[in-house]
Amino acid sequence: MTKLFRATETVRSVEEIDYARLLDEGKRVLLFDLDNTLCKRAATHLSDRLRAFLIARSDMGFDIGILTNRRRNAQDPIIHALAELVPILTAAGKPSRRGFQKLLARMGASAEHAVMIGDRKLTDILGANRTGLHSIRVTRKSRK
C-alpha cells in the first residue's frame, strides 16, 4: 500500500525534470497539477513565464494537460487562460482514477505514455500510481 504513495521520481521543481530522458523512455504526455506545481496556490493569472514553460514542453514534442482539483468558475481567469492553451480538467476528484482517465481519453493518450507531475502524495502521486502513470513529485512550491 505504501508503494502507491511513492513517486517514481522526486524533484525540487518542474524545471529540474529531465524531459529529454522522458521522451527517450517513450513518454509523450505530461499531465501537470496546477496549484503549488505549476503556479502558486490560488494564483489567478497566467504568467508569461508559465506560458513559455508550457509552450517549450509542447515544442519538445509533448502533449500537455492539466489535472486539478480546483473548481472552475468565472472568477478564475488562470483556468480560462490555460484552457485556451492546453486541455485542462478541473474538479478532477484526484486521487480517483476517473479524472486521470477522462483527461487521457480527451487527449487520445494512454497511461503507459503519460507522466503525472504534482506536489501532493495523497492526490497527485496516489492517483497517478493507481492509474498506471509514471509519477513525479515536486517538493518545492512553484514560484511561476
Copy the grid coordinates of residue 38: 505549476
What are the sequence ranges of the domains in the chain? 2-138
Give the model's pLDDT for residue 126: 97
Given a contact cutoff of 8 angstroms between Cβ atoms, the answer to whether 70 and 105 are in contact is no
Residue written as cell 489535472? Answer: 67
Q: What is the pLDDT of residues 81-134, one digit of tens each?
A: 999 999 999 999 999 999 999 999 999 999 999 999 999 999 999 999 999 999
Given a contact cutoff of 8 angstroms between Cβ atoms, the answer to whether 29 and 104 are in contact is yes
**Residue 124 CB neighbour total at 10 angstroms:** 31
Give the model's pLDDT for residue 18: 97
Q: pTM of the full predicted structure?
A: 0.93
**pLDDT higher than threshold 70 for residue 141:** no
Query: Which residues does 59 contact at the CB level (< 8 Å), separation at least 6?
Result: none
Specify the CATH number of the domain 2-138: 3.40.50.1000
